[in-house]
Amino acid sequence: NKPEEDEVTEVNNEQCSKEEEVKIELTPLNYQIIEYCKLISLSEQQKQNMSKTISIFKNRMANAFPEWEVKLFGSFMQNTQTIYSDLDFVVIKSEDEYITNERMLKNIRNVLHSSREWKEIKYIPASVPIIKATCKSTGIHVDISVNRSNVVEAAEIIKNKLDTYPHLRTFMKVM
């Protein structure tokens, strides 16, 4: 499928900025990057498994902690996920509730342990402590942090830029 090296390929607005179509000359490296992105892109089944995992986690948290808010950030939210991606969640407590981040994470861990939907549940004490877990039915790995609204804000900024310049998604996947 590789055209001659001097062939110019049109790139449509979905791949570039919304304002204009551009013509670029693709090099052999461009084709290698495009093929690599195809190789690491999720299948429809993998996308469905990620969506199912999101629903399972959000439902479990809503049942156990209805006053807490669950938000998704990271590659899935930005549509840059690959076959190597996990799901990144942040759980945010209500403003009037007093509970330490460590206690929140331990409560979340306990709820995941008590359900039959999760395995390999680990509390990781670090400068930003998280819980790592795997959804039994989908095999999708999740990372869960708490009370870090800045990660959601940063993810929104990146998502907005990627919506404006969709061709950057390929770059993000390769990174």
Interatomic CA distance for residues 32 and 46, integer angstroms = 23
What is the pTM (predicted TM-score) of this model? 0.77
Q: Are 82 and 95 in contact (CB under 8 A)?
A: no
Reported as a pLDDT band with limits 50, 70 and 90, residue 14 is very low
Interatomic CA distance for residues 172 and 165, integer angstroms = 12
Average pLDDT over residues 143-161: 89
- Which residues in 132-164 are b (16+ Cβ under 10 Å) and which e? ebbbeebebebbbbbebeebbeebeebeeebee
**Residue 134 tokens, joined:** 């795997």
Q: In sequence order, which ranges of the chain are alpha helices (DSSP H)?
A: 28-40, 44-64, 75-78, 101-114, 149-164, 168-174
**Residue 129 tokens, joined:** 């402590």
Interatomic CA distance for residues 76 and 59, integer angstroms = 18
pLDDT single digits (tens) 84-111? 999 999 999 988 788 899 999 999 999 9
Reported as a pLDDT band with limits 50, 70 and 90, residue 151 is confident
